[in-house]
Amino acid sequence: MQKQQKSESDLLRTYGRIITLTLVLVIMAVIASKHFSSVENIGTKGLQLEHSRLLYVLAMVKSQWLSQGRPSALKLSWEDTGVGSANRQPNEVKVQPQNNIIQMSPQGWPLLNSSDEAGCRALWHQLMASDLHDIKADVFYQKEPEICRFTTEQSGSISYQASSGRVIFLEGSG
């Protein structure tokens, strides 16, 4: 009888371990699913910040345009704050002056240098003083309403309509 009791005790201990292991795995699965769902949104949050920054820069550009008497072209004086800029010496931070002059619409919005994706990239670089590869964005150009669309793999996009200065952030459309 003693062997049977020992066997039953070992069996109950094994069942207890299996149940404990199952509960730990379920808890880890729940935590992992919540973690990985939040990781997918990190890129979109970065794009939301870029959206806010673009709105701020456009407001500053329009203010500068108004204060200078509504010129047809405006010279911007940004510093390059792209990847690796924190490690540069102050005399190394240079923005080419010929690339800092942007054409302005009669309503005070920055215009594209060329009506294509290259014009959208150039405008982004002029306004934001950073490259699109910093945020891993692709550029699409829509000719009819003259819209630049900057999209990321994380399912977010920023659209800029050059004729009206309208900026739209879309989350969840890749």
- pLDDT tens for 34-55 read 877 765 555 556 788 889 999 9
- pLDDT tens for 70-123 read 999 998 876 554 544 444 444 444 445 455 789 999 999 999 999 999 999 999
Classify each residue of 125-154 as buried b or exposed e, where b means 16 or more C-beta atoms within 10 Å of its C-beta. Answer: bbbbbbebeebebebebeeeebbbbbbbeb
pTM of the full predicted structure? Answer: 0.65
pLDDT at 89: 47
pLDDT at 161: 94
Tell me what the mean pLDDT of segment 122-127 comes to: 91
Residue 138, strand partner residues: 151
Q: Are 161 and 147 contacting, i.e. CB atoms less than 8 angstroms apart?
A: yes
- Mean residue pLDDT of the chain comes to 82
Tell me what the mean pLDDT of segment 154-169 comes to: 88
pLDDT at 99: 58
- Cα separation, 151 vs 171, whole angstroms: 10
In the structure encoding, which two tokens stand for residue 87, read together? Answer: 């490690």
